[in-house]
Chain A
């Protein structure tokens, strides 16, 4: 029971999880769905996609004829399949097939080895990049590196044999054979790459995934639980209250078991980490769907659920870019992964977020593969070179934030202006903490916004024993040649009326 049960959950929550973190393309691309749409909807969409390598990019090119296209995120990072983890990365790699003259020549791209696929991504701007994948499942044989005098001078070549369909398309189930050659022109530890390639191929990580995702993708959506059939895996009837209770009990047991196993020792925890992430995601999903049934549920409960959800959300990037896997391309790849990652926190924070906050969130999501602040800063500064929708911004005060490129100060100014025009703010001014509370942002950030608004002339300051306050600026409305004149319906007029009572 346990195995089947977790099986199912793993595949389902993995789907959801990877959807959450990596499938930005689906959000930003074709459908332009709101990122805030219900997770259940997103899961549904995801389920309709074929489970593994046949996830085609809508940008199908010539390459698709021979190799399956690979999906990329908006920043040009590959969208990984559930359970797929990156293990190595090389730059300046050519990919071609010597036997097939029609096979397109993939020149000088980035090669990413994952547990499931060999991805080749052209080294061009995101959005125009071509990406293809060779499923490791289709590989029949990897030829060892040639050691000869000649090979000392030429770029190393890795050759491997793949199964292909009769039309030449690389396919795990194909009856034909084809040889693909990788030419490693860039620097890097090529032998280590070959051995990792071997390991990944031998580990056959894809085999443990395929059937499971297949089973859940059948009916689609979260409705296809085993309870649907009326029978649990061990043959017990799952209906009525007793059925629900038993199901609940089973779930507790399995949860308990995985928790116990996880904490036996650190190694076990590491191996269980993935499962834990999924469990967390699963719980989050449950919480998300739970409270809607009871509209009158008390606020405190809702609050704690919300908090729990936030915790759950922050768990886990399944395949963090590491120095070990990405080597020389570390910062570049990290930068892309970060660009994908910041989308959700950015939306929550209203389009602008403190660099420090992102550092915490990102490292929390990465788990053990922590990055240094320098790495983060470097990753952010490389954004300028890519066409990513986010940017690093440095305020005059030195505070650094990440913001959406589409984020405009005007929007913020409009909000601040309306805040400053409220009767209380007219009378006693607006402090950074007032603004932070109303705008739902960090006080340091609120202060930056207020200072920027001041520099644009929307606000002016009042420094006194009471502290530092901002007021709406109406100096320009006062006529120096007639100090007593108050123009009707101006800000000055509004202020006089609001403040008059307190004099």
Chain B
């Protein structure tokens, strides 16, 4: 079985038609579905949040059978994820795509659980601390994308679970939890 990073690749990854955007509707729907699942699985295991369409992306080519997805195909598969709320285009030109293998809501829940587990209900943390501090080590929050984290925090702020305040510099925002 082939592997890509930590991800075990399924057998159909070597099926050449998997790499050609299928023109027939039913077949394409099936193909798109399989690609969506594989992209999410891959990003989850590799902790990848952003896929750049113009950059090399290991999942989008298979050297064993010498097949690579066309730009059109990549965009079609990512658009399908976007339509489902599992990804977001980061620009109008569809050059970068934010992959949400956890939805924002799920991320927010993860943050709350993290806060409770560490007894941080009334404390203050910087955003950077959440992403790369010692407390978050070993959790899914560790190393997460800043954009995604900010979105989740904003959602929580909206619900009154915390307050975000500006620090001295722009990239030094603080969070005051109030659960």
Contact = CB atoms under 8 A, between A and B. Distances in A.
A475 B27 contact: yes
Interface in B57-77: 64-67
Interface string B11-47: 1101111011011101100110110111001000000
Given A462-B19, A478-B30, A457 B37 contact: no
Contact of B16 (A462, A474, A476, A496): A462
Contacts of A481: 37
Given A471-B16, A471-B17, A473-B17, A460 B11 contact: no
Given A462-B20, A483-B37, A495 B26 contact: no
Contacts of B33: 480
A434 to B, nearest CB: 15
Interface in A265-310: none
Given A471-B17, A475-B30, A460 B24 contact: yes
Interface string A447-485: 000000011010011111110010101111010110110
Contacts of B31: 460, 475
B16 A429 contact: yes
Contacts of A471: 15-17
B34 A480 contact: yes
B95 interface: no
A466 B16 CA distance: 11
Contacts of A465: 66
The number of chain A residues touching the other chain, given as a range, is: 20 to 34
A475 B34 contact: yes
A492 interface: yes
Contacts of B10: 478, 483-484
Contacts of A464: 16, 19-20, 66-67
A464 B73 CA distance: 13
B24 A483 contact: no
A460 B17 contact: yes
A317 to B, nearest CB: 43
A455 B34 CA distance: 20
Contact of B41 (A454, A460, A483, A492): A483
Nearest to B38: A483
B42 to A, nearest CB: 11
Nearest to B17: A460
A201 to B, nearest CB: 64
Contacts of B8: 484
A9 B15 CA distance: 63
Contact of B23 (A461, A462, A480, A495): A461
Nearest to A426: B15
Nearest to B12: A478
Contacts of A495: 15
A503 B30 contact: no
A478 B38 CA distance: 12
A486 interface: yes
A499 interface: yes
B46 to A, nearest CB: 16
A480 B67 contact: no
Given A471-B16, A478-B30, A503 B22 contact: no
A492 to B, nearest CB: 7
Contacts of A480: 33-34, 36-37
Contacts of A475: 17, 22, 27, 30-31, 34
A461 B37 contact: no
Given A480-B37, A483-B37, A484-B8, A469 B16 contact: yes
Interface of A: 429, 454-455, 457, 460-466, 469, 471, 473-476, 478, 480-481, 483-484, 486, 492, 495-496, 499, 503
26 contacts: A455-B24, A457-B27, A460-B17, A462-B16, A462-B67, A463-B20, A464-B19, A464-B20, A464-B67, A466-B66, A471-B15, A475-B17, A475-B22, A475-B27, A475-B31, A478-B12, A478-B30, A478-B34, A483-B34, A483-B37, A484-B8, A492-B11, A495-B15, A496-B11, A499-B14, A503-B2
Given A454-B27, A462-B20, A483-B41, 19 more contacts: A454-B23, A454-B24, A460-B27, A461-B20, A461-B22, A462-B16, A464-B16, A464-B20, A464-B67, A466-B66, A475-B30, A475-B31, A478-B10, A478-B34, A483-B10, A483-B12, A484-B8, A484-B10, A499-B15
Ranked nearest first, the 4 interchain pairs of A and B with the lowest CB-CB distance are: A462-B16, A475-B30, A460-B17, A483-B10
